[in-house]
Chains A and B, each alone.
Chain A
Amino acid sequence: MGVKEGEQAIRFLANHPATAQRISLRLAEYFVADLPPQALVDQMAKTFLATGGDIYQVMKVMLSSTAFWDPENKLYRTPYDFACASLRVLNVAQDRNKWLQAFGYSFVAGQAIQNWQTPDGYAFNANTWFTPEALTRRIDFALTVARNAPERSDLYPYLSDTTIKAVMKQPPLQRMGFVLGSSELVFK
């Protein structure tokens, strides 16, 4: 009897409009913007309820929205995100020294891997992570982990003229550090 009641409770919560709002909001905050447009969240929530919680459909709504593609909607990478992105960009995930640096950066930045104690998880909004000192530590990491990295000029078409100009002023083996530290990569 107890188990059945538990299942009933879960079904009740799963079908509740507040649940649809909450899930849609979290997805939109994570993929679109820290303060996503309410209209989009509402549309996603409506889809959630109409499809009985089909996340694929909810995501489709989100990915087809103008808000998702709007270049003004930037997301500031969390330290962990930035660490992973750096390893990918430099193609050094197999290099033990490099991922130790990445691990250390996450720790020092306040996002030690899997170390958040409470069920809400690490925050991922800009207000939490974008502070003056934190930015300088991110730059420290970028310059250190990218030292002597081979240049990836295939990324340059995606960077602004200002960024390219500043990057090209550096000797070739120092350039990737500046690519990583650019606003195009510090945000996403």
Chain B
Amino acid sequence: MNLSLLILLPLLTALLILLSKNLAQIRVIGLAGSLAQLGAAGWLLKLFMDQRAAGNTATYLFETNTVWFKALNINYHIGIDGIALAMILLSALVVVAGILVSWTMEKLSKEYFFLLVLLSMGAYGFFISLDLFTLFFFLEVAVIPKFLLIGIWGSGKKENSAMKLALMLMAGSALVFVGLMGIYYNTHSFDMVQIGQMGISLGVQKFFFPFLFLGFGIFAALFPFHTWVPDGHASAPTAASMFLAGISMKLGGYGCLRMAALMPDAAHSYSWIIILLATIAIIYGAFATMMQTDLKYINAYSSISHCGFVILGIGMLNKTSINGAVIQMVSHGLMTALFFAAIGMIYSRTHTRMVAQLGGLLKVMPFISTVFVIAGLCSLGLPGFSGFVAEMTVFMGAWQNPDGVYRIATVISAASIVVTAVYILRATGKTIMGPISDEHALLGDATWNEKFAAGLLIVGILIIGLAPFLINQLIMPATDFLMINIDKAITLK
């Protein structure tokens, strides 16, 4: 299968949306387009597993390499390994769910769906890129739709949040750009595969790794550059929140992981800083969530904490921890999207997101409340859901690191789960249990599209939670390849 299909499908959908005449058409095209993406992603999964089963051990499958800017040695080089494929599947699921929950969006609906689809295109392009320039290109493609989505359709102090998000992400990509220049002028290539084989000299790695890691880290809400996350997520319309937390933040995590594999020596020597920042993010995110009274802020701050686990897993630089980081990315993507979807459903009915003003929702909206509980339980890492598998794997990997400081970081991070349990249980308890206020007593439950959206995400969460070997089977070969590169650095020392 030609991977460019993953870019062309959204592009085609976006163009058709522009040409469509009324809301009904826009919705149908949007849904059909996103389902086609999901279908393509699923088909890709099947082909990928077939290839692997047939004994194809190449690092990247479905590779295509076309010259783009010949003079500058920029190539349109695409290909996927298991990690990228996991991200693509996650994106496809979240996109369908996002389109479904925006079914009732009527304000400037054409522009809205157009931007949503454009955002998903950026994400797919990012995940399939093997060329650093195209990677960077798609990373930035995804920024503008976010700005417009939050600024136009958002709520609260939306303009400020949109501006803050856009500027911080652009600052992140500015840092990434400087790092890319450093790599380019030392290796004369943008090709990740090629650079990985050639290796980068130690001095260059040490100088430019911080640029790249921090740059991508801003996208992944790395402490102390996480400040765009709460405002951005809270102000965004539901589907945009889902895309932001479910897909966009994963661009950062994925980028960090690739950079660590590309510059393993630097990653090793800076790993203590990475782990320190990740631990702070985990603890800080968890405690900050405790103080929140707005459901969206609760989820946004908890995202900082959860994305901290991704960075922690990457920083530990061993096979299990990196596996954990990848699973955590997928799991967090699904779980957060589900959480935001549930919050959006509640908000569209009650017109409030303040925990204090809600209560007893289980009585009137059993489906939405159940979804809410599932998202919450997944977030606090209950066995059976994906969150448990992911966090468990990260901790197991982290514990393998015998160094004392790393052990302490692991213990502290693991302890944060208790805090998570506190805020999740408190928020769910207050929102769905207890007496219901009169004005909420007559509200209805989820509509078909909302049920479908939530169902999709829950299925994803349960598959990872109940049959973790499936996702392990998918990503394990990819992490093996990454580890070859990363371990090479250790042996060199």
A binds B: no
